[in-house]
Amino acid sequence: MLGSLVGEPTGGVRIAAEGLGVKGPRGWAVRGISLDAEPGALVAVEGPSGSGRTCLLLALTGRMKVAEGTAAVGEARLPKQLAAVRRVSALAHVPGVTDLDPALTVGEHLRERALLQRRFGDSLRGLLRPPGERAAEAGRRVDAALAAAGLGLDALPKGPRTAVRDLERLEALRLSVALALIGRPRLLGVDDTDLKLSDDERDEVWALLRSLADAGTTVLAVCSEAPEDALRVSTGQSRDEEPAEQGPQAGDEQPAEEGPVTADQQPAEEGPRTGDERTWDERTWDERTAGDGPRTADEQPAVVEDADEGEGKADAIAETGRA
């Protein structure tokens, strides 16, 4: 077991979920997930990209809040005990979460993770040990993680000084797994296990994950196609592939069969408008002033001014419409 290699016995955790649902920014990422996995199980979260499989992985490892349903990871209960789940789990190869720095070397990544583990992941008793003893323990922990992940530094082009940008995809995945194993997790979540890998490389990845599960660690692996010996959890089809809830498309619309149009349904033929049917601007001066009685000379300019003002407003509205 990995725990015996690093000097501390560990074991996998049991995962039980019922009606689990996770919400994302665009709504429901995944719903109705039920799962019962024994400690040390290899669980394949199967589904196409965009079907919520990564959200499910993050939820079961305590990194994303559960919106409905319940789940138990070991002794911790979701959605309330997220921190307790995070303490017993680790993530590897998750885009945007555990990305490797292409400018750093493999050795720098390993030393950085070991330092973080010593500072923040160790127990109080471990922190009180002499510095030399703690450094030796960190070295043993790194060596054990590399061995469990199947990453030999001697096989790399420049050994531990090999830059991450020079690693092959499978080597980068192994390094990410090794970094996660330094913390001795009881639950390991791995994303995109078969992304852009050949069939032989996929077989190697599943052999690696199977060996970790056999050693006692419960493994959650996101994939597009699960192996037959894994416990499968399907997230269904991609949200991009789901049919949109909308009316029939324009091309699919069929004209309704209508009977002959009656006389009442015929549109009226409009002739030229007369009298009160015409707008103020369409009327002549005599029509505008009709019925108001004779106007004095002092009253005439005011009417003209109002008419000009109305025409100016109409022109302004027309200009606004054109703009």
More confidently predicted of 127 and 300: 127
CB-based contact 46:232 (threshold 8 Å): yes
Q: Give percent above pLDDT 70 in the chain.
A: 67
Mean pLDDT (the chain) is 80
- Average pLDDT value for residue range 96-103: 94
Q: How confident is the model at residue 286 (pLDDT cuts 50, 70, 90)?
A: low
Segments making up each domain of the chain, as ranges: 8-88+185-240, 105-183, 280-322
Confidence label for 303 from pLDDT (cuts 50, 70 and 90): very low
pLDDT for 281 equals 60
Element (H, E) at 87: helix 82-87
Give the helix ranges, DSSP H, for 120-230: 124-127, 131-149, 169-181, 199-214
pLDDT for residue 263 is more than 80: no
Name the 3-class secondary structure at 143: helix
In angstroms, the CA 233 to CA 46 distance is 6
Strand partners, 89: 187
Kindly state the tokens that stand for 100. 């490797």
Q: Which helix (H) or strand (E) holds 310?
A: helix 300-322
Q: Considering only 79-83, 97-101, 274-278, which range has the smallest mean pLDDT?
A: 274-278
Contact 42, 221 (CB under 8 A): yes
For residue 24, pLDDT beyond 90: no
Predicted confidence (pLDDT) per residue in 40-94, tens digit = 999 999 999 888 999 999 999 999 999 999 999 999 999 999 999 999 999 999 9
| Strand 15-24, strand 218-223: pairing | unpaired
* Mean pLDDT, range 260-285, rounded to an integer: 55
- Whether the per-residue pLDDT at 250 is higher than 60: the answer is no
| 220: β partners | 43, 189
Nearest to 141 by CA among 181, 107, 96, 83: 181
Partnered with residue 163 across adjacent β-strands are 105
- The CATH fold assigned to 8-88+185-240 is Rossmann fold (3.40.50)
pTM beyond 0.85, yes or no: no
pLDDT top residue among 239 and 58: 58
116-159 pLDDT tens trace? 888 776 666 766 778 788 788 889 999 999 999 999 999 999 99
Across 28-37, 44-53, 128-137, 190-199, least confident range:
128-137
* pLDDT tens readout for residues 146-155: 999 999 999 9
- State the pLDDT at residue 301: 44
205 class by beta-carbon count within 10 Å (0-12 exposed, 13-18 middle, 19+ buried): buried
Strands 187-190 and 218-223, bridge-based pairing: parallel
Model confidence band, residue 255 (pLDDT cutoffs 50, 70, 90): very low
Cβ atoms of 218 and 186 closer than 8 Å: yes
